[in-house]
């Protein structure tokens, strides 16, 4: 995983809400991703989580009061505000949301927030009636207008026994949204369709033909594009991966279902990246009963599946179309041939079969082939890194096309 927060200075504000205990886990994740994190606890937060926990996890002194300055002439809340690359308040109480929406500065956190000029992220968490209260909603609207990124609470059973909206989302999700906030938005509002994973072609109700695609490369691309501001639709075959945040999922099983989902969404797309490993063949006559082990041999008749990539290449207008070629040999010639046959703007070739590249690995070794004849080989990299470099190249090529 890329250490997206490496060398980033983050300030974490914690308010007096029941979810304050989750901020310790959030802090741990941010530190693990390379951030240097300073924590400000409100006076009331101390009733829910002690400063010592945050001090130990951040390795830095924790600020709990406006007036516990260090006696060296520095004004801490201004200094921290000036050096922060981003600020995140999790959990944010109804009280703090109200204060920030109205520019009130009567404690360390609210005073500090008025001095912050870097990106601000706020994670409301409270009882459902409090969250739905018109004053709270009005204050959140004001904060959004003031360019706060508001991370909406989850719905579910709350500590107070009520079921509804107001639960602080998982710390991993909050950290992910912080990473997104800090990424350049060079794909802002671009519509990107990504396909990922394998297709499953049924033989009978319990068996199918498929392949080893894990979906990791396609999911990494969808996540990277979403970070960079794109509206992403991820057409995914069966995988064990969680949907990337902020991405619209279209879950499919067979090649035919994948084809329909892609054709439905390609019209409005700016960029189409086809990473999925679509089965080339499907059983001619899948049966609706479990085939019994009665004979020593079983013959399976297969029909060719639709060539989705070729069909997109045929239908495409202004869309930038990228294919993937997973090959076991002759990567250069096979990739270039596929690019030409399928009318692609670019193809990503990778050799499959090794442990550090291809289907199930977290890393990949790829070569980009462009339709002007140029090529670029990358070293073995994390799939997240490959995804970002691929998007860099697509953005350059789209800009060059005008």
Ligand X SMILES: Cc1cc2nc3c(=O)[nH]c(=O)nc-3n(C[C@H](O)[C@H](O)[C@H](O)COP(=O)(O)O)c2cc1C
Question: Interface with ligand X by CB under 6 A: which residues?
Answer: 15-19, 42, 44-45, 93-96, 125-126, 130
Does residue 397 sit in helix, strand or coil? helix
Active site residue: 15, 63, 123, 160, which one?
A: 160
Q: Which is nearer to ligand X, 128 or 343 (CB)?
A: 128
How far apart, in whole angstroms, are the C-alpha atoms of residue 358 and residue 356? Answer: 7
How far apart, in whole angstroms, are the C-alpha atoms of residue 222 and residue 246? Answer: 10
Q: Which is nearer to ligand X, 167 or 397 (CB)?
A: 167
CB of 47 to ligand X, least distance (A): 7
CB of 123 to ligand X, least distance (A): 11
CB of 193 to ligand X, least distance (A): 39
How many CA atoms lie within 13 Å of 141's alpha carbon, on the beta-carbon side? 7
Instruction: Please compute Rg for the chain using Cα positions.
Output: 25
CB of 52 to ligand X, least distance (A): 18
How far apart, in whole angstroms, are the C-alpha atoms of residue 277 and residue 199? Answer: 7
CB of 222 to ligand X, least distance (A): 33
Q: How buried is residue 299: exposed, middle or buried, by Cβ count under 10 Å (0-12/13-18/19+)?
A: exposed
* Orientation angle between helical segments 20-32 and 171-182, nearest 10 degrees: 50
Straight-line distance from the first to the last Cα atom of the chain, in angstroms, rounded to the nearest whole number: 33
Q: Which is nearer to ligand X, 127 or 214 (CB)?
A: 127
Q: Which is nearer to ligand X, 108 or 390 (CB)?
A: 108
Q: Which is nearer to ligand X, 15 or 262 (CB)?
A: 15
How far apart, in whole angstroms, are the C-alpha atoms of residue 4 and residue 10? Answer: 12
Closest CA to 221 of 211, 236, 238: 236
* 160 assigned to active site: yes
| Residue 195 near residue 232 (C-beta atoms within 8 A) | no
Residues with catalytic function = 160
């Amino acid at each position: 995983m890329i250490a997206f927060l490496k060398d980033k200075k983050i300030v974490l504000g914690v308010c007096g809400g029941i979810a304050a205990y989750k901020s310790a886990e959030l802090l741990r994740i941010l530190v693990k991703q390379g951030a240097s994190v300073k924590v400000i606890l409100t006076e009331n937060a101390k009733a829910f989580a002690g400063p010592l926990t945050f001090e130990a996890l951040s390795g830095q002194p924790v600020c709990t009061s406006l007036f516990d300055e260090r006696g060296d002439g520095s004004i801490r809340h201004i200094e921290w505000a000036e050096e922060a690359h981003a600020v995140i308040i999790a959990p944010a109480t109804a009280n703090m949301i109200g204060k920030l929406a109205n520019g009130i500065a009567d404690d360390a956190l609210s005073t500090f927030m008025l001095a912050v000029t870097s990106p601000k992220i706020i994670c409301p968490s409270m009882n459902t009636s409090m969250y739905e209260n018109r004053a709270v909603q009005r204050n959140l609207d004001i904060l959004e207008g003031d360019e706060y990124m508001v991370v909406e609470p989850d719905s579910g059973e709350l500590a107070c026994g009520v079921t509804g909206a107001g639960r602080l989302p998982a710390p991993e999700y909050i950290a992910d949204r912080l990473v997104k906030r800090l990424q350049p938005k060079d794909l802002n509002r671009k519509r990107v369709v990504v396909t990922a994973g394998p297709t499953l072609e049924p033989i009978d109700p319990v068996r199918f033909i498929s392949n080893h695609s894990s979906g990791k490369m396609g999911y990494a691309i969808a996540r990277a594009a979403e970070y960079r501001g794109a509206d992403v639709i991820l057409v995914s075959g069966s995988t064990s991966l969680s949907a990337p945040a902020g991405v619209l999922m279209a879950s499919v099983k067979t090649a035919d279902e994948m084809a329909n989902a892609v054709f439905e969404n390609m019209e409005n797309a700016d960029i189409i990246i086809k990473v999925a490993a679509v089965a080339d063949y499907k059983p001619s006559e899948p049966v609706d009963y479990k085939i019994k082990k009665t004979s020593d041999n079983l013959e399976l008749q297969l029909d060719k599946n639709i060539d989705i990539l070729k069909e997109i290449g045929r239908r495409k207008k202004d869309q930038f179309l990228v294919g993937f070629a997973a090959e076991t040999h002759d990567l250069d010639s096979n990739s270039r041939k596929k690019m030409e046959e399928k009318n692609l703007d670019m193809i990503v070739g990778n050799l499959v079969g090794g442990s550090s590249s291809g289907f199930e690995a977290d890393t990949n070794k790829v070569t980009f082939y462009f339709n002007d004849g140029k090529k670029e080989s990358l070293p073995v990299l994390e799939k997240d890194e490959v995804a970002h470099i691929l998007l860099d190249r697509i953005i350059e090529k789209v800009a060059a096309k005008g």
